[in-house]
Amino acid sequence: MDFEFSEEHRIFRVSIRSFAENEIGPLVDEAEKNERFPVELFPKMGKLGYLGLCYPEEYGGAGADTITECICAEELARVCLGITSAVFIPSMSGVMEIYKFGSEEQKQDYLVPTIRGKKIPAVAITEPDAGSDVSSIKSTARKAGDRYVLNGSKIFITNAPIADYIVVVAFTDKDKGIEGMSLFIVDRDTHGLGVSRLKKMGSKSVETGEVILEDCSIPEKNIIGKEGGAFSRILEGLNRGRVTVAARYVGLAEAAYEAALKYSKERVQFGKPIGKFQSISFKLADMATEIEASRFLVYRAAWLYDKGSKCRKEASMAKLFATEMVQRVTGEAVQIHGGYGYMMEYPVQRYFRDAKVGTLHEGTSEIQRTIIAREIGL
């Protein structure tokens, strides 16, 4: 592997870490307690260019590589996973399709304000009866004159309660099967669009919702690209998404590890810091090793993606390993804290609760294993 971080990557890490600690850190407790995303972060991050790292400069982006995006995801999630999930929607599949396939008008009306933090996006693919199996969605978009009429329901949608617009996947032609899906931009104030909040066990600072589309009539120009083909277009974007998602869990694990390491030096039992007991020091040694292994998988996959190399297997391995690793590391961080780790005053309980979602979204662990098995010829 020839990969190494450039000077630019290193400088970026220093600046995004400082932003995360100083600008996001103070907002976390209240956002987690109230289960409300601090929306003022969008324009703030937009101004600094953090929301459009992967987009070209002509649309207000930074034209940065996936390695830079992973550094951003890792450093933000080290401070707060929930907030990271919300601010990464602008660069994930769905919004990315506006850049890749949308009209110039859509780019100016939606992508540019999104990158500036002036419009908040959500992307709605999952439905109550269609999660891992996206092909079984039921939402439809029927052409009616110069408009489309959308019907259906979506669930677990990140940012839905605060979104200015929602990118929705729906069938325009069911007879074409999976190829009959299209992507639409639905404005928040569209008549017939209903959004309700869902309560979660973790990542409470990101708002997640259910979306109902009841005869939502939207202008024809709100289709992204042409009719059909949405499924394969989204699938194409998944590799990059999986790698940046994996990077978030490396950051979350790092936070748990740092807290546990510090505590192991401070907590004294039987006359010495608990870190001096081999059973605790070995746990920390394993945690450090697993985090480092995940980091290698993540940045290698990002590097392959940036080079234009095939990286489906590597992206799934990074996502699988990082999100399973973070379960172990956050669990051990609580264990090292003893009873204090179970108390709300200590952040390790949040890391532990936040970690769980990693193996569920952006392709569950079972789906990642299915992809890897296929890639190794099974």
Annotated catalytic residue 362:
yes
Binding segment for ligand FAD among 213-221, 270-278, 332-340, 358-366 (CB under 6 A)? 358-366
Burial class (CB in 10 A: 0-12, 13-18, 19+), 23: middle
Q: Which of 64, 98, 157, 185 lies at the binding interface for ligand FAD (CB under 6 A)? A: 157
Identity of the residue, 293 or 367, whose beta carbon is nearer to ligand FAD in the bound complex: 367
Identity of the residue, 1 or 201, whose beta carbon is nearer to ligand FAD in the bound complex: 201
Q: Which residues contact 46 (CB under 8 A, 6 or more apart)?
A: 52, 60, 115, 116, 117, 118
| Residues found in the chain | 378
The SS3 call for residue 123 is strand
Q: Which of 123, 245, 318, 322 lies at the binding interface for ligand FAD (CB under 6 A)? A: 123
If DSSP states are collapsed to H, E and C, what string results for 329-358?
HHHHHHHHHHHHHHCCCCCHHHHHHHHHHH
Binding segment for ligand FAD among 45-53, 56-64, 176-184, 365-373 (CB under 6 A)? 365-373
Q: Which of 70, 357, 371, 372 lies at the binding interface for ligand FAD (CB under 6 A)? A: 357
Identity of the residue, 100 or 143, whose beta carbon is nearer to ligand FAD in the bound complex: 100
Min dist CB 123 to ligand FAD, Å, is 5
Q: Cβ distance 32 to 350 under 8 Å?
A: yes
Which of 237, 302, 243, 238 lies closest to 1, judged by CA? 302
Contact between 367 and ligand FAD (CB under 6 A)? yes
Binding segment for ligand FAD among 63-71, 122-130, 271-279, 305-313 (CB under 6 A)? 122-130
Which of 197, 193, 198 lies closest to 215, judged by CA? 193
Distance between CA atoms of 65 and 302, rounded to whole angstroms?
A: 8
Please give the residues from 187 up to 206 whose contact with ligand FAD meets the rule CB under 6 A. Answer: 200, 203
Binding positions for ligand FAD, rule: CB under 6 A: 123-126, 131-132, 156-158, 200, 203, 208, 357, 360-361, 364, 366-367, 370
Q: Which residue numbers are catalytic?
A: 362
